[in-house]
Amino acid sequence: MPRYINNLSSPIYFNQTVFVPRQEVETFDTINNQAFIRGTVFETYSIGAGNEDLLIRFNNETAWTTVTLTNGAAQTAADIVADINAAYGVVVAIDEGGYVRLEAPYDQTTSAVYIATTGSTAAATLGFVTSDVNPVDLVATRVFSFSTLAETYNIDATNNTFIFKMNTGASWIIATLTIGAARTAAQIVADINFAYETATADATKVAFAEEPVVGAGLHIKLLAPVYNNFESKIYIKNTGNTALAILGFTGNNFTPVAKSFYPSIVKTNELPLYNPIISETPISFAGAGTYYYYLTEPKECKRIQFIRVSGVGTIFTGYIQNISNIPPFTLIATETLSFNIRNYRITKVIIQASAAGSLTIRELID
């Protein structure tokens, strides 16, 4: 189980866990804080002069690493992975059952995987999506989205409306861009930030003029504030948004163009995983009858599951602890049932079968 620490002064409520300020908290699940992408094409790969290059970068890097894959008619995923890791210098590629997976090195605030469109002749062969400026996968405290077109921008009365919002529940914000034949990224950014502050009374900057990668020129970067201590989303409207094409953004009326659930907590330790199953007991009935099941660990058991129920027309009637505890629960074939007994100490379950059939009782720590 991993441990995390919340360095903020207020609690963070995430994934059914409360991360109290400045105190280590253990969780059952590892929080998704590493961006990754898995290719969609299964090995082997025919690599040659026309599809041997892959341009990658990670996290906050601003320069591409060019990977030149070893040529061969039947290169395996392991072969591709070895080429990528050798070129990058750190293990960022994994052979995942015959598919190539790229995983960003761990970072506390921004985890991103980039695969360039321009120059990545091997991307289609491996089954990777690409973008010259935006991550193909992003997990960040504050998500971002770059325009695909660099400055300058010819803004006129037909394309000067940019409609956006940040995070769930917010209202759409209309930024009216200043008209001009050669507007810079900085000038467009000023219009967007002015509209955001006017609409929300929040002086947080949500747009910046930045160069996404060395030599790409200045683009417009939208950066979402953090909401609820862990949520970050960018929405760009499609309907009525006349500035999309000229700036190089895509829009959607309902779905965020970028989103992340990434609480501002730091992993401090990765503890060994444990098996939450205390016991798993199959019970079979040759015909109608009653079975008394006694828990193997009544003190430790916090949940009881009834699974793998089978029997044509058979009805299983169950009682917790005592047959006088009514109403009972019932199960038929393919049904499952789970009881949370965290606040109770149960020692037995009585199962009555109406005919031949079987089920499995599983005791869980949680």
202 and 100 assigned to the same domain: no
124 and 52 assigned to the same domain: yes
pLDDT bucket at 147, cuts 50 / 70 / 90: very high
Q: Are residues 300 and 343 in the same domain?
A: yes
pLDDT tens for 196-237 read 999 999 898 999 999 998 888 999 999 998 877 677 899 999
**Structural domain that includes position 189:** 144-266
- Residue 26 pLDDT > 80, yes or no? no
In terms of domains, do 222 and 289 share one? no
What is the tens place of the pLDDT at every residue in 308-336? 999 999 999 999 988 888 899 999 999 99
Same domain, 195 and 209: yes
**Could you tell me if residue 320 is inside a domain?**
yes
Q: Which amino acid is at 217?
A: G
**Residue 160, domain member (yes or no):** yes
Q: Given pLDDT bands bounded at 50, 70 and 90, which one contains residue 142?
A: confident
pLDDT at 302: 87
Going by pLDDT thresholds of 50, 70 and 90, the confidence category of residue 359 is: very high
How much of the chain, in percent, has pLDDT values that exceed 90?
Answer: 60
In a domain, 116, yes or no: yes
CATH number of the domain enclosing 301:
2.60.120.380
Instruction: For residue 200, count other CB atoms closer than 10 A to its CB.
Output: 16
Distance between CA atoms of residues 287 and 50, nearest Å: 68
Examine the pLDDT at 22 and tell me if it is beyond 90. no
| CA dist 58 → 79, 116, 329 (Å) | 21, 11, 53
Pairing state of beta strands 53-58 and 24-26?
unpaired
Answer for the pair 103, 94: CB distance below 8 angstroms, yes or no: yes
193 and 281 fall within a common domain: no
pLDDT band at 261 (very low <50, low <70, confident <90, very high): confident
253 and 329 co-located in one domain:
no
131 and 210 part of one domain: no
Pick the more confident residue, 327 or 28: 327
Final residue of a structural domain among 266, 288, 307 = 266
Q: How many CB atoms lie within 10 A of CB 29?
A: 10
Q: Is residue 312 situated within a structural domain?
A: yes
* Mean pLDDT across 166-194: 92
**Is 241 part of any domain?**
yes
Whether 165 is covered by a domain: the verdict is: yes
* Mean of pLDDT over the chain: 88
Residues 134 and 41 in one domain: yes
Please check whether residue 271 lies inside any domain of the structure.
no
Residue 68 lies in a domain: yes
DSSP 295: P
Q: What is the pTM of this model?
A: 0.64
Neighbours of 203 (CB within 10 A): 8
Residue among 168, 226, 171 at smallest CA distance from 195? 171
Could you say which of 266, 287, 314 is where a domain stops? 266
Q: How many domains are contained in the chain? A: 3
In this structure, the answer to whether residues 41 and 55 fall within a common structural domain is yes
Same domain, 148 and 255: yes
Which domain-ending residue is among 140, 175, 205? Answer: 140
pLDDT score for 240: 95
Tokens of 54: 């892959």
What's the CA gap between 251 and 256, in Å, rounded?
8
Both 83 and 180 in one domain: the answer is no
